[in-house]
Amino acid sequence: MWSRWKAGQSLHQIGRAFGKSHVSIHFLLSQHGGIIPAARRRSLVTLTLAEREDISRGIAAGSSIREIAKGLQRAVSTVSREVARHGGRPQYRASEADQQAWESALRPKLCLLAMHVKLQTIVASKLILDWSPEQISACACLTKPFTAACSFKHVEC
């Protein structure tokens, strides 16, 4: 579609080539401003599928996380978080972990405020009191990673 658009074909011509309405083609093109989106690629610092397979083999061989990390020349915390994030030692599967990591890297993501109603309530109440965004973000309960365990009954910020 993008090569046809770049070659100067009309929306109707592109639509006919793909068996779609010109409105559908316009919608797809307008989402990116008529410019072909950049191909997704992984960051150079993320674990690769080969590294994840090495982690999986190390787990299967009974190696410690420290030994696996040393073999990969990665931080122990990186390997530990990777294994914990994807089901722990008994459930870790390299291909599933890689696929999940690829999908979770998609942007845009919902912000914390959109996902937590209690947090929305606190922020809204502070805005009503004419607090600045800086004051709200400095509030002690909000500066820590937001968790459901955080008690909001006695927020004294």
Cis-peptide, bond into residue 108, ω within 30° of zero: yes
**Cβ atoms of 59 and 68 closer than 8 Å:** yes
The pTM assigned to this predicted structure is: 0.55
Residue listed under structure tokens 């008994």:
90
Query: How confident is the model at residue 117, as a pLDDT?
Result: 83
Residues of the chain with pLDDT under 70: 140-157
**How many beta carbons lie within 10 A of that of residue 148, not counting itself?**
6
CA–CA dist 123, 15 (Å, integer): 47
Mutual orientation of helices 76-85 and 65-72 as an angle, nearest 10°? 120
